[in-house]
Structures are given as C-alpha cells and as structure tokens.
Structure 1
Amino acid sequence: MTNSDGLSHRLRESQQSVNDGKPRDALFVGSVEKAFRVLEAFRGHSSLSLSEVAITTGLGKSAAQRFCHTLVELGYLKRDPRSRQLKPALRLLELGFSYSISEPIISTAAPFLLRAREKSNKAVNLALPRGTDVVYVMRQTYEDSPYGNPPVGGRVPMFCTASGRAYLSALPREECDAILAQSPLHPFTPHTLTDLDQLNEALEIARKRGFASADQECIVGERTIGAPIYDRFGRVIASMNICVYGNDWTMAKVDKTYGDLLLRTAQQISEAVSNNPNFS
C-alpha cells in the first residue's frame, strides 16, 4: 500500500463484484475483462502472490496463473525471481502516459496549477471523478512535502477528501446523495467524518463558500481545501486541491491563507476549459 495517497483504498469488497452488476452485450469479451481484473488487483499494492491475485479477482488459481503468465510475457507484469511475487511492470506506465497526453483537462489545467503551487509553496493536485472516488491525474508537490513525489493515479474516496467533497458539492443534490449512499463510509483516521448528517453539513458549507475542506481525514497532519472545476455548460467535471502538512496549521488558517488562491485558480481553469474547443 502506498503512503503517498493517504490510503490505498483497502481492497474494495471483493473488488466490488466482478461485473459491477452491469448487463453485458454480445460484443463484450469476458477474457479481456478478466485480464484487466488481474491488473486492477494491484491497485494500492506493490506486489501480490499468485494466490492473492486469485483471491482478489475471484478467479480460480489455474485461471489466475494463465492470465498472470500472459501479462508477464506481454510486459505488463513482472515476476520476482526469488520471491515469485508479481509486480506491475513498466509497460503499464506507458499506457498511463498515453492517457495523460490525450486528456485535455490535464494540459489545460497545468499552467494554472503550477502557478498556484509557486504562489502557495504547497502541494496542488488535479482530480477527476471515478465512481465514488476521485483519481489524481496531476500532482504538483513542494519541497517540504513529507511524501516526496506522490505518484499520479492515486485513487481516494470522495466523501473524506477536499477534492472529492468539492466535486460532490457542485453536483445536483440527487446525484450527490446517490454517490454518498454508495460510498463505504469507513474511517481512515480518527478525524474522518463518517456520519451522513455531518457530511451533508460539510457539503452545505462547501456550497455556500465555493470550496470544501478536509481536516486530517485521510492522513493525520494533512489539511486540504478543494474547489470544483466546471465546463462551459456549468457542469462540474473535475476538482483541484491545495494540501498543507504540519501541526502548526489549523483548518481555519488554511482556509484563510489559501482559500482565495484556490477559488481563483479553479475559476481560471474553468474559464480555460470553456474556451477550449477540445471540450464538448
């Protein structure tokens, strides 16, 4: 599990069912889905044994062995010659690069996020929604960050993160309520809000002032504020956050010190998105 994201999302209750309950059409290739299920088993894990892959994916050990062998041969997994543990391989990163250069929100937001990082000297992140979570697709760290160079692709819950709450607060109420209802409200620190009434109160505050806060809810010592990013039609499509670490900060101090910068940056990105023809 990687410390850099504050959590690695504890393996989704048996990987949230094999097919997510969705009906599959005649063109759907089940073996491809199973191969990706094997790759997704490594989310939050630096290595897994063959038995762990089989348990995590719900595949039989024989099937898991065949899929893993194929993925090793193709260069997407590698096997430690001593421990026989399986690990993600470099070719997976190449796929991630293809995504990064094709997603217009990343290139559009990049100069504004960099400017916010330079002005704040704090970590600044860009997040996109995925189910009940957000995924960090761009990360600007700073020299005093306790986590060095946190990797892109970290996935965290919406309900307990500033970036996630910012996104939730900008959704229509029924969509926000539906995501919260589907979210496993597990605590990650002693400070994590898991009570639905308290979460709705925090979201209402975010709606009124335009940005959300999370006080040590994923990582003890980390305080974050996040704001939504909109497209030209006023629909929320992403969010950004500014992260502050250290016991000399309070949530109120973070809000006061960086709230205006956060809102201004999110607005600039939203305006750039609205003027970019690559966004539909």
Structure 2
Amino acid sequence: MRRRGKGCDLGCQAMQTDQAVPMPAIEAAPALPESPADHDPMRVQSVEKAFRVLCAFDASRPSLSLTQLAVAAELDKSAVQRFTHTLTALGYLRKDPATKRFELTVKTLDIGYRFVRTNVLVERARPYLLHISNTTEETVNLTVLDGGEVVFVSRMAGRHVINADIVIGARTPAYCSAPGIAMLARLPLDESLALLERWDRRPITPNTIWRMEDLRHKLVATAARGYATAFEELHHGDLSVAAAIVDATGRPIGAINIATLRSRMTPEAAEQAYMPMVVDAARAMSHNG
C-alpha cells in the first residue's frame, strides 16, 4: 500500500530514456485513514504533494504519463499538471516532447548529495568504513533505520561485490537484514516488537527469519551479544555481520555491517572474522564510545 506523505530517496532509481516505456498497470490506492498530520496547521500541503509526485517514480516506473502520475501520487489530474509544470521548470522533471511522459532528472541527486555531505554520522563513519574495506577487501556499509527499512547512506564496495543494485539510498527490509536487527535490538524489546508487528514481513529466501516468535529470540540474542548476523536471509549467498551505532542515550542512530559471499567463507568463519571489526567500529562511532 502506498503511504501518504512518506519520504523517499530522490537520488536513486532515476532512469533516463528517450523512448516510451511500457508501464505496469497502476491501480488507485484505497482511501487512507486520517492522521493527526492531516490537521497540522503548520503543514504545507503543496510541498507534501510535490514530493508525492517526485516519489511516484521508481525502478519499475522510470517514466510516467500525467494520468499515471495522478493515480500514483493520489492527486487529481489538474493538480498534477501544475506540479509537473513547476517541477519541470525547476529542473527536477523532464517531459519527453514526443511521448509527453515525465521522468526524474539528474538534479534530483542534489538532495541526496546534500544529505551525504552534511550528515555528521556519515562523515564520522567514513574513515572506519575505508579502513575496514581496505583491510578485508569486503563490502562495508553504513545504514540507518527509516520505518521498516534500512537505508544505505554510505558504502565501500569490496572486490567481491554481492549485489550491484545496492547503491547509496537503496532500501532493504529491516527485519531480515543484519543492520536492521542490530539497530532494533538496541531498542527496548517491547518497542522493537511493536514495530515489527506493524511492518510487512514475509519469507524472502528459505533462510529468512520473519515470524514474530523467531524474531523475538533473535532480538534477545542480538542484544545479549552486541552484534547481529543475517545469513542468506535477503539474498542467496549473502552473509552479513553488523553492529549498531548508538547515541548518548543508547538508542540506535545507525549500523555498520560487513558483507561477504557464502562461496568465500562459511557463516561461522564470517562471524568470527568480522564480528570484532564491526563491534569495535560501532563502539568508536557511538556517542558513548
């Protein structure tokens, strides 16, 4: 279900094409219940709607017609026409003169770039990620928790790239990723379980841990030992070891993980080799480190 008002990464998944691309059918989303934000007098609805237009694009919908945008953004066609005109004039959208379809432009990368260059955690983590990547020749990531997903905000790709589709701004489900579990385990157990209950969970691979009772056991074990693992839960052949970075109150603000291939080492070997590295780096990056 499309979530109204949810933020998105504007720097990723933008695709440029001069050809009309066949699009999957877009169904209108059901009416959403009102939230307190809907009655927030300080909230500028036009800004929210403009972002809903930008966030309508993704890898499966790199270009959209005006009608498709109206359905995807849950706005009437006349409003979308005004927003696309403005966003095109500002340089964030491009309209194909032949097909009349819209697509994101490279200018949308500016927002993501500004985050990367101004975020304190990203800056603090950079030397640690670089050191670990040079030492292990594996892929090292810095992620943050956003809703039910972990978002990649910094990445040092190793010699053995696991998934070339993972770029800055990419998102993966938190419940079946080592960084996600590492961060959830640093929250009070009742809070993390309540979050997991609200999120969509399903088995992505035969190894995915997704049932609540199993996740509860994993959170307790992760909290006790101080790091998390995810072995082929999200991708076949993917082994990941992660530790959470916390603020001065002990709440998670990010996670660092090392990812390697099942063809290169066993899960036990990956855990033994990389656990000390992620734990030490996360502790050094934490405000209480």
TM-score normalised by L of structure 1: 0.84
CA deviation digits over 1:51-105, x for unaligned, max 9? Answer: 4322222123333333223212211122344554432212211121211222101
* One-letter code aligned to 1:212: A
Shift of 1:129: 1.6
Are the structure 2 counterparts of residues 15 and 196 from structure 1 closer, same or farther at C-alpha, using a change threshold of 3 Å? farther
2:47 corresponds, among 16, 32, 42, to 32
| Partner residue in 2 for 1:207 | 223
* One-letter code aligned to 2:277: L
Name stretches of at least 5 consecutive residues in structure 2 with no aligned partner.
Answer: 1-11, 14-25
- The more displaced of 248-257 and 86-95 is 248-257
What SS does the aligned partner of 1:228 have?
strand
Are the structure 2 counterparts of residues 239 and 67 from structure 1 closer, same or farther at C-alpha, using a change threshold of 3 Å? same
CA deviation digits over 1:145-179, x for unaligned, max 9? Answer: 14448421112221111111100000011221121
1:101 corresponds, among 90, 114, 117, to 117
Are the structure 2 counterparts of residues 140 and 15 from structure 1 closer, same or farther at C-alpha, using a change threshold of 3 Å? farther
Are the structure 2 counterparts of residues 26 and 125 from structure 1 closer, same or farther at C-alpha, using a change threshold of 3 Å? same
Q: Is the 8 A contact 2:139 2:160 kept in 1?
A: no
| Partner residue in 1 for 2:260 | 244
Q: Is the 8 A contact 1:134 1:158 kept in 2?
A: yes
- Structure 1 segments, 4+ long, off by >6 Å, are none
Are the structure 2 counterparts of residues 35 and 223 from structure 1 closer, same or farther at C-alpha, using a change threshold of 3 Å? same
| Partner residue in 2 for 1:231 | 247
| Partner residue in 1 for 2:158 | 142
Q: Does 1:196 align with 2:206?
A: no
1:181 corresponds, among 176, 189, 197, to 197
* One-letter code aligned to 1:127: T
Q: Is the 8 A contact 1:15 1:57 kept in 2?
A: no
Shift of 1:274: 4.5
CA deviation digits over 1:221-248, x for unaligned, max 9? Answer: 2111111101233222111111112434
What SS does the aligned partner of 2:205 have?
coil
Shift of 1:183: 0.6
Superposition RMSD in Å = 2.7
Are the structure 2 counterparts of residues 67 and 167 from structure 1 closer, same or farther at C-alpha, using a change threshold of 3 Å? same
| Partner residue in 2 for 1:278 | none
Name stretches of at least 5 consecutive residues in structure 1 with no aligned partner.
Answer: 3-10, 276-280
What SS does the aligned partner of 1:174 have?
helix
Shift of 1:111: 0.6
Shift of 1:185: 0.5
1:87 corresponds, among 103, 109, 126, to 103
1:168 corresponds, among 184, 203, 215, to 184
* One-letter code aligned to 1:32: V
Shift of 1:15: 10
* One-letter code aligned to 1:105: L
Shift of 1:138: 0.6
2:73 corresponds, among 42, 48, 57, to 57
Q: Does 1:220 align with 2:219?
A: no
Q: Does 1:133 align with 2:173?
A: no
1:117 corresponds, among 111, 118, 133, to 133
1:263 corresponds, among 262, 279, 285, to 279
TM-score normalised by L of structure 2: 0.81
Are the structure 2 counterparts of residues 61 and 218 from structure 1 closer, same or farther at C-alpha, using a change threshold of 3 Å? farther
Q: Which has the larger radius of gyration?
A: 2
* One-letter code aligned to 2:57: F
* One-letter code aligned to 1:113: L
User: 2:78, 2:122 → 1: CA distance?
Assistant: 40
Q: Does 1:42 align with 2:57?
A: yes
CA deviation digits over 1:105-157, x for unaligned, max 9? Answer: 11111111111111121111111121222211111111221444842111222
Shift of 1:251: 2.1
Q: Is the 8 A contact 1:191 1:216 kept in 2?
A: yes
User: 1:82, 1:19 → 2: CA distance?
Assistant: 39
Are the structure 2 counterparts of residues 146 and 223 from structure 1 closer, same or farther at C-alpha, using a change threshold of 3 Å? closer
Structure whose residues are more often helix by fraction:
1
